[in-house]
Amino acid sequence: MSAKLSQFIEYRDIGMIDLDNIYDLESQSYDFPWTRNILKDCIMNKYDSYVAIYNNIIVGYIISKVTSYESHVLNLTVNEKYRNNGIGSELLEMVIHKCKILQSDTLLLETRLTNKSAMSLYEKYGFRKIGLRKDYYKTLLGKEDAIVYRKLLS
């Protein structure tokens, strides 16, 4: 992340106050976004989730479910204008840190076969491909497979 931008990014836990802004970013980022109710349920059920804020605007977030055995990154989104500045890395590191605190053995996630930048990020953090979920994501042309990644933490 550029020194200029990184010094102004704030990271914190997601709260209900963030719901509208997260939903807006989700809707701008995906053709088939999570619904507002799904996001609300994640916040209300206290999933392990964080936001990245720049100039009082949410520019990224991660939603995960961390347990003492197996954890799962459910959604990692960064505003297109702010990608490749280390925001996704920092959000992912926050979840990995939480996993280590709770002594989680494994961290799982899925990503689209076409999402090369996400695949690069996950592999940089030691995630390994372990499987494929056929027709996992909706697309404008039908469906797309997901690659399943796993990071062993213990």
The catalytic residue positions are 110, 122
**What is the amino acid identity at position 109?**
L
Contacts of 56 (CB under 8 A, 6+ apart): none
Note whether 72 and 65 are within 8 A (CB).
yes
Q: Vertex 88, ends 111 and 56: CA angle to 5°? A: 130
CA 17 to each of CA 20, 23, 45, 58: distance values in angstroms, whole numbers, following the listed order: 8, 11, 14, 11
